[in-house]
Structure 1
């Protein structure tokens, strides 16, 4: 199916001024607080407010006034989009849907008192809490790298300034220079993301620095869309990309940000730009709130409610839910299920059985788009895949161009679905 804005907005399970401090609860209305304004949180806030028709008081807590989508940020690195095209604000959520948008950090959750503490002081009460904080990084997962090194060896796995920094470093590489990516172990945000990024870096270098080399140190034996990416690299960027999997030392990596070197199984590589994508875990607020079981937050797939607190719902990358990949599409799909469940619990409205979907598009070169996706349904144990699809190697140019154009329609649709 070709997706455009209208058809995307039709998919999904769920049939005020911006504030510097939270509003007092509207008289008699139940209160929902949403932490995190990305694909999960913004969507959930909008659907709860919209579909309850004012019956629920919704507060969205998000520190950033401008949100840059991580999805499609690789296309900025490749020169296919501007950084501004990835930027979105929360104005319509406030003015069109009456959502109380609080630009602050949520620093704690008192689950007994049912309040969320803010970095700026004070707290926000809730009857139901939705948490969609995205990812944070596992300390020490790449020896030599911690968050203080992100200005030298950027991760660019949270979009915005990090994405702009990585692009500037790629553009500053000398002719014949070396770009190194340290790829993450499973599970992590956007499984095809690192390899689309390699494709986009190669696209830029082919046009501007054709003798440059790209090295990928990868701890995984296999990765999403592997055959498609490797076919594309051979076709469009022959000889430029070298991936070192675990059999070739890709899982034994350390870095020295001061020297700009990467040690791959004892072989030290001097690099001109290094993209370190560390191991990942649920956004820190989940850990602070005591909602994690290991690195991720377990949920019941029928409603995305936390398995550790029946008043809290956890969406997107942070959740441990089963078979769905950690992606913007997944978070948006999960948000609609959670919004319906929250609305039903607070207003008695009808709740339909949950269904989920996901598609991940990737651009390999100009008009060479590929995709992978699936449909999902919940079981008692997890969200389980019930059908799937993936682009095939050897597809003709018309098919690949159509896939890329489909992704553009999806981007327009999902950002409208998130931000109104």
Structure 2
């Protein structure tokens, strides 16, 4: 089925349609606090508020007043989008759905008292807590890099100023310069993301700096959509891109931000721009809440997205450890609807339907050359398990690839409307 804004909303709203929450007994409405206003958190806040019809008090804690989506941020780097087109505000969540949006940092969770502490002072009590904090980076995961180096060697894996910085550095590269990406190990946010980014950097350099080179230093022996990306790189950017996997030192890397050097298996490479993307973990507040495992992710119950460590807490999106679903905006949005339904059922007695999940990840390789991968999933006792899937094929006709790209534009319009109203 071709996906556009209308069909995306129609297929993904099914689980929530037709639910009418009964009135809540007593003087005080139950309160749900949502931390993080991205694809998971904003969606959960909107659906809980909308479908409980005022029976639940929803508070969304998000430090930024304008949220920039990581998905489609690569298209900004490639020159296909303006930065303003991937930025979204929270006004409609407040005005149209009654969500109390608090622009502050959550810096602590007291699970016994069921309160969230804010950086600005004070705390907010909750009956249920939804954590959707995205990702943070593991300390010392990439030798030579920490957050103090993010201006010299930006990660650009949290969209906004980092994305703008990376684009500016690419534009300032000398003629024939070297762009280096240090790709992250699994698991990480948006598996095709680094390789779509390489495609967008190559698109930009081909037009503005055609003798430049791109190095990808990768600890993984393979990556998402690899055959599709490599076909596209050969077709459009022949000779510009070199991928260095673990067999050739991609898993033995050190960066030197002060001298703009990347050390690959002992060999020093002088570069002009380095997009350093370290190993990832759940956003810090999940760790502070005590719901993460030794690997840094938050295990959840597949049928509800509840934390396996606290039934009053739900964890969504990139931060959770759930099974087969990739860490993507589509996944987070899908998980948020299951979470919202579970929360409403618990707090208001509304009907809860069996959990269903889906995901699609689109990538742009060159103008009008879009590819995709996706799957449907079900909840088992152990994990969210893949049921079936699909992926674009090498050698597809240009018309089909253009249609796939246009499909992604419709999806973006649909999911951002779904998140922010």
Q: Please give the TM-score of this superposition, normalised by the length of structure 1.
A: 0.97
Distance 1:172 1:59 in 2: 43
Give the 4+ runs in structure 1 shifted more than 3 A. none
Distance 1:310 1:142 in 2: 35
The residue aligned with 1:20 is: none
**Are 1:191 and 2:191 matched, yes or no?**
yes
- SS of corresponding position for 1:405: helix
- SS of corresponding position for 1:305: coil
The residue aligned with 1:170 is: 170
The residue aligned with 1:99 is: 99
5 Å-filtered alignment, 1:105-124, equals: 105-124=105-124
- SS of corresponding position for 2:81: coil
The residue aligned with 2:87 is: 87
The residue aligned with 1:23 is: none
Cα shift readout 1:363-414 (whole Å, capped 9, x = no counterpart):
0000000000000000000000000000000000000000000000000000
The residue aligned with 2:245 is: 245
Distance 2:354 2:240 in 1: 48
The residue aligned with 1:299 is: 300
Q: CA offset at residue 142 of structure 1?
A: 0.6
- SS of corresponding position for 2:60: strand
Cα shift readout 1:284-338 (whole Å, capped 9, x = no counterpart):
0010110001210000010000000000000000000000000000000000000
- SS of corresponding position for 2:411: helix
Q: CA offset at residue 27 of structure 1?
A: 4.6
In structure 2, stretches of 5+ residues that fail to align are 18-25
The residue aligned with 1:362 is: 363
Distance 2:2 2:39 in 1: 21
Distance 2:401 2:269 in 1: 35
**Are 1:182 and 2:182 matched, yes or no?**
yes
Q: CA offset at residue 14 of structure 1?
A: 2.8
The residue aligned with 2:406 is: 405
Q: CA offset at residue 10 of structure 1?
A: 1.4
Distance 1:355 1:268 in 2: 49
Distance 1:48 1:301 in 2: 19
The residue aligned with 1:41 is: 41
Distance 2:151 2:267 in 1: 24
Cα shift readout 1:116-165 (whole Å, capped 9, x = no counterpart):
00000000000010000000000111100001100110000000000000
Distance 2:205 2:111 in 1: 50
- SS of corresponding position for 1:380: coil
The residue aligned with 2:352 is: 351
In structure 1, stretches of 5+ residues that fail to align are 16-25
- SS of corresponding position for 1:310: coil
Distance 2:234 2:223 in 1: 17
Distance 1:35 1:178 in 2: 39
RMSD: 0.8
The residue aligned with 1:19 is: none
5 Å-filtered alignment, 1:251-266, equals: 251-266=251-266
Count of aligned residue pairs for this structure pair: 410
The residue aligned with 2:329 is: 328
Cα shift readout 1:15-39 (whole Å, capped 9, x = no counterpart):
3xxxxxxxxxx95211000000000
Distance 2:363 2:279 in 1: 21
Q: CA offset at residue 4 of structure 1?
A: 1.3
Distance 1:349 1:84 in 2: 39
- SS of corresponding position for 2:388: strand
The residue aligned with 2:143 is: 143
